[in-house]
């Protein structure tokens, strides 16, 4: 009762109240966030700006203290460089091969685990196991599986009379193999996030749908998917960033060499940057790549968000009509 | 009540500020201690004070394994040696470059591999002790192979950044059991006669491949890279011109070596394995190839990979097709800013002495560290060394003979990356059917990425 009477008062005089509320706590607040921003400044902002500065110089580690100003030469070198465009295309294709099936599978698995299945906790924990596995160990196992001569995958292909593939040397098989490692590692993680999102959806919506005679598929499409939209957007954004920065899997897939295969068939942008900086000792060029990657990632995320917002707006209209009908 | 609440808030915020500033200070602080002990040396140990000398190494140098640290501690009880080892030489080199650039964190002794010694000579000579200026310089210099000394020196010879540890004179290691199985000779003296040139060597490989009794799926040699990386150093120039500037397209060594390597690939005498890859490692025990170019340190590598089961199956032919050359080897340098400079100089001088280099080669735990000290190489115990693992091959005579005849073309800053680019493309020629011309073009493109 008292809540109801006090409510109008707050809405009438919001500015005064807010000012009064802010005073005592504000400085303590800054003190609390200071450690984070100190660390953030030292390990994120400073390197970020320093990378930009280095990218305008011809810098090598051996001659680090006397590097020459070259303006935008590293960027023009990069954009006219076949290795860059090659890595860009690889990052895109591996990103698609690794991310799209991964998120679809994660959604499906989460949907299944959302039902009352026997041993549900076991499956939920098992799902997260790949994520908890060391990347290096996983890649070594995958290398054995995809071995050209003695691997299990080629053995299976042989068994069903399909041609055996060179999973390391040939372009598409190698990209699929690298994507398989990524998919294996991250599907369970994303499924758990989807599961959490699903459990936040009001159960009465499903009950209402059942009353309306909706099938399970219809429930999934019309209740689960719309309810999960923010979660899906989050996983798409995180996966896009992960795909754009893909590094460990392709590095280890060629036994720790940064060339991404003998023909660069799975060299990603992250790997190219590492090769330029630490193998070829051209830190200026590598810094230019780092900044270009940053811009690419920001653009990719904005496109994702933009697309989803537009679909949201489109989707919002018919739902309202349906609800009122 | 109200007051105490406020003071608690203030205390908490003070604590938060203190933590933050402590974090920042910790990041900016670091080494503030002066290297006061880096004065002139006293006595054979460089100092009489109790000192820990740190030694930065990569991979397996064998000093510890062969008991040299313990021996040094007995000789100089006040000195304790502490190793600081990075497994991969490339990672070690990156770390060393970072420390040289920042001028801090350097060990008292830093190992320098021959693949990056040119960079140290060209860009960091002032940051290392010049071995031409130490008191015993002339007698030390006289004891080394001249080519080994020159690689660590400026072209005018005024500055020398490191003293040699080991060298890698090359011969051919082979599996006698596999050659026998293929119905070919397995006698080292006989093979030495048949393998004097690369053409003969490749012709012999074709006989191996044509054999109907050879081990199934095996090939004569491991890789075209094995031929290439050896033959390239037999030219007057390898990857660089006389001034040490990369000049791959014009090099006679690259041209002939590329010819032999692609010929070996075309004749299908190679197993097409990438050197130092896991599959290559496995092949030492499963017999996927019968021979490979073999610097002394490869003897240790083979023993590590093939294990006890390979004992007596391997042998070494006293020959290198196309003439004597060297692959690998290292130096020890002392940074000018080393904390314990005098002690470090004394330690490196001792390690480079004849006796210690003899120990490194003759000790039972040795991994193929052939002396770079020519006095040590001439020592009877080095020359008479035989390897039980390699069918009692007279390794001392074989590698000593090759080391004495070795000549080395000029080296440059990016030899390691250039060689990697070329051998990677050779793998494409062997396994992907890439044409040698296209592969060479691709290699030059990759090299351009390094040289800028």
Q: What ipTM does this complex have?
A: 0.85
Residue B39 lies in a domain: no
From the list A186, A165, A191, A187, the residue with the least C-alpha distance to A176 is A165
Residue B6 lies in a domain: no
Q: Answer for the pair B205, B221: CB distance below 8 angstroms, yes or no.
A: yes
For chain A, what is the mean pLDDT?
87
Residue B149 lies in a domain: yes
Q: Do B12 and A255 touch (CB under 8 A)?
A: no
Tokens linked to B12 = 């908490």
Q: Answer for the pair A133, A127: CB distance below 8 angstroms, yes or no.
A: no
Q: Do A42 and B425 touch (CB under 8 A)?
A: no
Residue B262 lies in a domain: yes
Q: Do B19 and A35 touch (CB under 8 A)?
A: yes
**Domain boundary residue, one of B317, B350, B378:** B378
Chain B residues within 8 A of A64 when measuring between CB atoms = 97, 101
Residue B112's H or E segment, with its range, is strand B109-113
Distance CA A48, CA B136 (A): 49
Q: Is A61 helix (H, G, I), strand (E, B) or coil?
A: coil
Q: Does B24 touch chain A (CB under 8 A)?
A: yes
Q: Are residues B178 and B223 in the same domain?
A: yes
Distance CA B233, CA A68 (A): 34
Q: Are residues B146 and B230 in the same domain?
A: no
Tens of pLDDT along chain A (325 residues) come to 344 444 444 444 445 555 555 555 677 888 888 999 999 999 999 999 999 999 999 999 988 888 899 999 999 999 999 999 999 999 999 999 999 999 999 999 998 888 777 888 888 888 889 999 999 999 999 999 999 888 999 999 999 999 999 999 899 999 999 999 999 999 999 999 999 999 999 989 989 999 999 888 898 889 999 999 889 999 999 999 999 999 999 999 999 999 999 999 999 999 999 999 999 999 999 999 999 999 999 998 899 888 878 777 776 655 444 443 3
For B442, name the nearest residue in chain A, comparing CA atoms only.
A263
Chain B residues within 8 A of A82 when measuring between CB atoms = 445
Q: Are residues B362 and B397 in the same domain?
A: no
Q: Do A32 and B13 touch (CB under 8 A)?
A: yes
Q: Are residues B162 and B176 in the same domain?
A: no
Q: Does A42 touch chain B (CB under 8 A)?
A: yes
DSSP character string of B363-427? STT--S-EESBHHHHHSHHHHT--BTTTTTB-HHHHHHHHHHH-------TTHHHHHHHHHHHHH
In tens, the pLDDT along A137-159 reads 999 999 999 998 889 999 999 99
Q: Are residues B321 and B438 in the same domain?
A: yes
- Per-residue burial over B131-152, b = 16 or more CB atoms within 10 Å of its CB, e = otherwise: bbebeeeeebbebbbeebbbbb
Q: Is B101 helix (H, G, I), strand (E, B) or coil?
A: helix
Residues 6+ apart with CB under 8 A from B96: B56, B106, B110, B112
Q: Answer for the pair B196, B332: CB distance below 8 angstroms, yes or no.
A: no
What is the distance, to the nearest Å, from the Cα of residue B433 to the centroid of all Cα atoms in its chain? 31
Which of A27, A63, A81 has the CB atom closest to B123's CB atom? A63
Q: Are residues B281 and B355 in the same domain?
A: no
Q: Do B449 and A39 touch (CB under 8 A)?
A: no
- Give mean pLDDT, residues B289-294: 96
Which CATH number goes with the domain that contains B229?
A: 3.40.190.10
**What length does chain B have?**
452
Residue B263 lies in a domain: yes
Distance CA A134, CA A258 (A): 19
Residue B2 lies in a domain: no
From the list B254, B249, B301, the residue with the least C-alpha distance to B276 is B301
Write down the domain spans for chain A.
Answer: 83-316
Which of A42, A61, A276 has the CB atom closest to B101's CB atom? A61
Q: Are residues B153 and B184 in the same domain?
A: no
For B278, name the nearest residue in chain A, comparing CA atoms only.
A255
Q: Answer for the pair A249, A186: CB distance below 8 angstroms, yes or no.
A: no
Q: Answer for the pair B150, B118: CB distance below 8 angstroms, yes or no.
A: no
Range of the domain at B423: 168-326+389-451
State which fold the A83-316 domain adopts: MetI-like fold (1.10.3720)
Distance CA A122, CA B237 (A): 65
Distance CA B366, CA B359 (A): 8
Q: Answer for the pair A35, B23: CB distance below 8 angstroms, yes or no.
A: yes
Residue B46 lies in a domain: no
Please provide residue B221's backbone torsions phi and psi, each rounded to the nearest 5 degrees.
-120, 165
Count of domains forming chain B: 2
Residue the block writes with tokens 């391997």: B314
């Amino acid at each position: 009762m008292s809540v109801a009477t006090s409510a109008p008062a707050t809405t009438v005089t919001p500015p005064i109240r807010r000012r009064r509320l802010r005073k005592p706590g504000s400085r303590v607040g800054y003190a609390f966030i200071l450690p984070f921003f100190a660390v953030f400044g030292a390990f994120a902002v400073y390197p970020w700006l320093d990378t930009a500065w280095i990218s305008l110089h011809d810098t090598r580690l051996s001659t680090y203290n006397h590097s020459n100003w070259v303006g935008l030469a590293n960027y023009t070198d990069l954009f006219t460089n076949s290795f860059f465009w090659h890595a860009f295309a690889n990052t895109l294709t591996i990103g698609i091969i690794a991310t799209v099936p991964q998120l679809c599978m994660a959604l499906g698995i989460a949907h299944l685990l959302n039902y009352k299945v026997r041993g549900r906790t076991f499956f939920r924990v098992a799902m997260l196991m790949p994520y908890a596995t060391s990347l290096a160990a996983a890649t070594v196992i995958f290398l054995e599986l995809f071995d050209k001569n003695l691997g299990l995958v080629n053995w299976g292909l042989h068994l069903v009379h399909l041609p055996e593939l060179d999973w390391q040397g040939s372009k598409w098989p190698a990209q699929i193999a690298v994507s398989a490692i990524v998919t294996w590692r991250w599907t369970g993680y994303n499924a758990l996030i989807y599961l959490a999102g699903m459990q936040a959806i009001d159960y009465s919506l499903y009950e209402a749908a059942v009353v309306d005679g909706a099938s399970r598929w219809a429930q999934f499409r019309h209740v689960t998917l719309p309810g999960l939209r923010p979660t899906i957007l989050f996983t798409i954004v995180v996966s896009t960033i992960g795909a754009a920065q893909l590094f460990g899997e392709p590095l280890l897939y060629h036994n720790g060499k940064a060339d991404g295969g003998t023909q660069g068939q799975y060299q990603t942008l992250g790997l190219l940057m590492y090769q330029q900086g630490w193998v070829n000792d051209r830190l200026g060029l590598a810094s230019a790549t780092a900044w270009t990657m940053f811009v690419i990632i920001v653009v990719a995320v904005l496109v994702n968000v933009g697309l989803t917002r537009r679909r949201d707006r489109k989707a919002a209209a018919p739902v309202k009509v349906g609800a009122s009908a | 009540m109200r007051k105490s609440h406020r003071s608690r808030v203030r205390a908490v915020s003070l604590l938060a500020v203190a933590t933050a500033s402590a974090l920042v200070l910790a990041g900016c602080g670091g080494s503030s201690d002066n290297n006061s002990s880096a004065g002139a040396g006293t006595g054979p140990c460089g100092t009489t004070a109790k000192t820990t000398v740190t030694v930065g190494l990569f991979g397996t140098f064998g000093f510890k394994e062969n008991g040299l640290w313990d021996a040094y501690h007995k000789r100089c009880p006040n000195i304790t040696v502490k190793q600081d080892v990075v497994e991969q030489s490339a990672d070690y080199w990156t770390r060393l470059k970072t420390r040289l650039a920042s001028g801090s964190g350097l060990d008292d002794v830093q190992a320098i591999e021959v693949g990056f010694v040119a960079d140290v000579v060209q860009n960091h000579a002032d940051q290392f002790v010049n071995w031409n200026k130490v008191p015993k310089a002339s007698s030390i210099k006289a004891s080394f192979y001249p080519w080994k000394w020159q690689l660590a020196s400026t072209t005018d010879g005024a500055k020398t950044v490191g003293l040699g540890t080991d060298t890698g004179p090359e011969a051919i290691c082979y599996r006698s059991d596999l050659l026998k199985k293929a119905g070919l000779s397995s006698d080292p003296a006989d093979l030495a006669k048949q393998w004097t040139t690369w053409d003969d060597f490749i012709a012999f490989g074709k006989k191996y491949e044509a054999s109907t009794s050879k081990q199934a799926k095996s090939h004569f040699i491991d890789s075209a890279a094995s031929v290439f990386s050896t033959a390239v150093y037999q030219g007057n120039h390898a990857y660089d011109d006389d001034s040490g500037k990369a000049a791959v397209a014009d090099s006679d060594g690259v041209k002939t070596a590329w010819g032999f390597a692609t010929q070996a690939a075309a004749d299908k005498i190679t197993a097409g394995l990438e050197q130092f890859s896991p599959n290559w490692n496995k092949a030492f025990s499963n017999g996927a190839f019968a021979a490979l170019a073999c610097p002394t340190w490869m003897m240790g590598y083979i023993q590590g990979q093939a294990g006890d089961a390979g004992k007596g199956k391997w042998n070494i032919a006293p020959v290198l097709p196309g003439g004597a050359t060297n692959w690998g080897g290292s130096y020890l340098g002392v940074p000018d800013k080393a904390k314990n400079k005098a002690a470090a100089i004394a330690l490196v001088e001792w390690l480079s002495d004849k006796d210690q280099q003899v120990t490194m080669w003759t000790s039972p735990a040795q991994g193929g560290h052939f002396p770079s000290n020519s006095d040590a190489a001439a020592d009877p115990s080095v020359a008479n060394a035989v390897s039980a693992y390699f069918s009692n091959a007279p390794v001392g005579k074989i590698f000593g003979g090759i080391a004495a005849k070795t000549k080395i073309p000029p080296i440059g800053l990016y030899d390691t990356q250039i060689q990697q680019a070329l051998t990677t493309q050779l793998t494409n020629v062997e396994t992907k059917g890439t044409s040698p011309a296209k592969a060479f073009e691709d290699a030059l493109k990759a090299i351009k990425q390094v040289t800028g």
